[in-house]
Amino acid sequence: MLELRNLRRSFGDVVALDGLSFEVAPGELCGFLGPNGAGKTTAMRCAVGVTAADAGEVRWRGQPIDLAVRRRTGYMPEERGLYPRMRVHEQLVYVARLRDVDAEVAARNADRWIDRLGIGERRDDPVEQLSLGNQQRVQLAAALVHDPELLILDEPFSGLDPLATDVMSEVLREQADAGVAVVFSSHQLDLVEDLCRTVAVVARGRLVLDGEVAALKAAGGRRLRVATDGDDDWTARLPAGAAVVSRRDATVTVALPPTLDPGAVLDVARRSGRLVDVHLDQPRLSELFRTAVADRPDLAAELTEVDR
């Protein structure tokens, strides 16, 4: 288990981490979400021991993050960390050797990841000559080449095209399925919703939402979209607990608490006219994210930035 416990970290007057706690278990693929400036990068740096926390602690399998743990961790830093002039294979071997991997195993692992990530033709090119997407694949390989048991990736999907995104998604899922604890930050909420079993959402250095995506969505109730050909406002007769969230022409979207039967709303709508459109869905992760983060009105500006 990766445990972040009550982490605090300030930079001058800026409080980056304000008592952040969460956990990632082996085999778990956790999306680490939050608006710009929320503290994700700082938290990940603390988790790999690159930045010291002012207070609180980080543990992996019950141990503090020491050199031995760092050698078993794969980390993709926000600022990326490749040597631009070094060739791809050579670089991966170098990185693996730094983590004490035997030379032969390092060479074999480097080739395995080069193959798996589809950059075989670039094996002996300097990293600086690769496209951004391919450089990112090398970054991922560098984080994985020593077969880590803990994987911490800072925005690994940023700048990737759809194909590279698919490869990255597959590799992260495979790693988690193989028992690695994987946590990565991202602003791509729809991707995280499809990919991750769990999420941790941070705002202003604090955890504002976390847990299993499916459970969070189920607890968020449902959205029922209804259109009728009637012309009276049937939503005036909605059952208790139901609330209109949006309205366009004859189409109304109603938020339902988890306990309310959607049929009760349909019964009301039906008395107004024939049903023209009906659609029942859970809230998207992006909606839950906005609600969780918007409890802090001071974050409105950053939220808008996330949307872009």
Residues that bind ligand ADP (CB under 6 A): 11, 14, 16, 34, 36-42
Give least dist CB 44 to ligand ADP, A.
8
Query: Binding partner of residue 38 among Mg ion, ligand ADP, none, CB under 5 to 8 Å per kind?
Result: ligand ADP
Nearest residue (CB) to Mg ion, 40 versus 217: 40
Q: Name which of 41 and 169 has its Cβ closer to Mg ion.
A: 41
The least distance separating Mg ion from the CB of residue 186, rounded to whole angstroms, comes to 10
34 binds, among ligand ADP, Mg ion, none (CB under 5 to 8 A by kind): ligand ADP
Under 8 Å between Cβ of 152 and 44: yes
33 vs 65, beta carbon nearer Mg ion:
33
Whose Cβ is closer to Mg ion: residue 41's or residue 186's?
41
11 contacts which partner out of Mg ion, ligand ADP, none, CB within 5 to 8 A by kind? ligand ADP
| Residues found near Mg ion in the complex (CB under 5 A) | 40-41
Least distance in angstroms from the C-beta of 47 to ligand ADP: 12
Cβ nearer to ligand ADP, comparing 109 with 136? 136
In the complex, minimum distance from the CB of residue 130 to Mg ion, in angstroms, rounded to a whole number: 23
